[in-house]
Amino acid sequence: MTVAEIIKSSRLENQMTQEEFGDKFGVTRQTVSSWENSKSIPDLEMLIRICNEYHISLDALLNEDADYVRKVDVLKKIKSYMKPIGISVSCALVICLALVFVRLQFMERANDGFRERVLEAGFVKEEGMYVKDEGGIIFELPNQKMPFWKGHFYASVLNAEYKTEDVDCFFLLNEENEKYWFNIQYGLNQEIAGSITENGEVIYDDLTTNAEEKIGLCQGEMDEILRKMQDYYKIAYQNS
């Protein structure tokens, strides 16, 4: 007889329902039904319990049901293969969770550091921006947070606006490849671009006396604004 037949005949001989049989061995009615229909098999430990309960010779049963023996052997092999895989997956999951935690801690420190530094530098948060008015020059930093998958802020920029009755120009500064780049916009789609060295030397790509007159600022005044922007930029983004 097969294991499925033995389970069914043992249950019926003892006038038990599938639910009663399942309760006796700590499984559900559906599991017992699955055993009796050969859709699944009890593990070897469970089969030993059933054989002991109903005085069935386990050796004789296993000799008769070669298919069950093959299935148990396959399951044992699968379990033996899965065990190291399960350990590896568990270790990988722990490592991933640890890396996520470390990354979140880094992001939190970066965001807190950015906010603390700009506030200490005299910026005030206004409508989603950090703003500082310094003698008619309005410096602006975006209110932002460190993205999860990047080691720096998306928009590491600093803006400045100098505006009077005669002067209206907009400065933009960012850093790329360890060099500071600026752009000055004025008039109708007019602009001047250039860079600032680490020691504060301002280098214009194109600057003429005519341009200075249109802006309403001399080169020395523009240099001073740009150097202040570089100082504030370093304060805000020193750790990003």
Look at residue 113 and tell me if it is in a domain: no
Look at residue 220 and tell me if it is in a domain: yes
pTM of the model as a whole: 0.58
Length of the chain counted residue by residue: 240
- pLDDT of amino acid 79: 59
- pLDDT of amino acid 61: 67
- pLDDT of amino acid 234: 92
- Does 229 share its domain with 126? yes
- Does 131 share its domain with 20? no
Look at residue 75 and tell me if it is in a domain: no
Strand, helix or coil for residue 200: coil
- Does 127 share its domain with 211? yes
Triad 221, 170, 158: Cα angle to 5°? 95
- pLDDT of amino acid 65: 67
Burial of 219 from C-beta contacts in 10 A (0-12 / 13-18 / 19+): middle
Look at residue 95 and tell me if it is in a domain: no
- Does 145 share its domain with 41? no
Look at residue 83 and tell me if it is in a domain: no
Look at residue 219 and tell me if it is in a domain: yes
Residue of 176, 175, 193 lying closest to 184 (CA atoms): 193
Look at residue 93 and tell me if it is in a domain: no
Which of 21, 45, 64 is where one domain is finished? 64
- Does 147 share its domain with 42? no
Look at residue 87 and tell me if it is in a domain: no
Amino acid of residue 70: R
- pLDDT of amino acid 214: 67
- Does 59 share its domain with 124? no
Average pLDDT, the chain: 83
Task: Read off the CATH number of the domain in which 45 is found.
Answer: 1.10.260.40
Half-sphere exposure (Cβ direction) of 108: Cα atoms closer than 13 Å: 6
Amino acid of residue 72: V
Domain count, the chain: 2
Residue 51: give the domain boundaries: 3-64
Burial of 237 from C-beta contacts in 10 A (0-12 / 13-18 / 19+): buried
As a whole number of angstroms, the distance between CA 209 and CA 232 comes to: 28
- pLDDT of amino acid 91: 84
Amino acid of residue 114: F
Half-sphere exposure (Cβ direction) of 30: Cα atoms closer than 13 Å: 0
Residues in the chain where the model's pLDDT stays below 50? none
